[in-house]
Amino acid sequence: MTTLYVDNIAPNLQSKISAPNLQPLAGSVIQVVQAFKYNETSTSSTSFVDTGLSKSITPSSSSSKILVSFDFPARSNNMGVSFNVQFSTDGGSTYNTITIGGPQGWGHAVGYITGGSTANWSHITKSYLHSPSTSNTITYKVQYKAIGSGTNCIICDSGDAALLTLMEIAG
């Protein structure tokens, strides 16, 4: 067996060897961005309205996918709350709905809770893997609405936060 003793190692700055252009492995996480919402808001609208939670991400490649995940503390006094995710690739003026469907056939709803008479807080956590096919900046926003007239939906009490997470996944 041979032993090699070295006092110093220095790079050879004259070397013509360079590392190849490495590409991330398909399925690996390239970047993660998050947005938080702390203030309590409510709506009795039966049409989707903005929650105030949105975040932008710029994919490094048009073959990347975006894993969109959100977690909301929510409650209602009656029938429940429905969530919706929309995205924009043109700087925010035109939004498109991510069509996921939802429980009990609520269209684009991606979450539903029943408050009942006690109106307990529930956490609604949903994820969706989006294939935007662009390397342009994409803005995602979460919306919500009351399910049924006479329902008041409340999100984010003073002690809890809503979270939107966007993960770029290599394609």
Sort 158 into a burial class: Cβ within 10 Å, 0-12 / 13-18 / 19+: exposed
Q: What is the pLDDT of residues 5-36, one digit of tens each?
A: 888 877 676 666 666 677 888 999 999 999 99
Cβ count within 10 A of residue 21:
5
Average pLDDT, the chain: 79
Higher pLDDT pick, 27 / 158? 27
Average pLDDT on 44-55 reads 88
Q: Which two tokens stand for residue 66?
A: 């975006």
- What does each C-alpha distance from 56 to 77, 87, 112, 165, 167 come to in angstroms? 33, 9, 25, 10, 11
Q: Which domains does the chain have, with CATH numbers?
A: 32-169 (2.60.120)
DSSP per-residue codes, 126-153 = EEEEE-----S-EEEEEEEEESSTT--E
Residue 32: what pLDDT?
A: 97
Tokens of 44: 């009795």
Kindly state the average pLDDT of the residues 137-159: 82
- Find, among 120, 117, 134, 2, the residue nearest to 56 by Cα: 134
Query: For residue range 102-132, what is the model confidence (pLDDT) as tens digits?
Result: 443 333 344 555 545 555 667 778 888 889 9
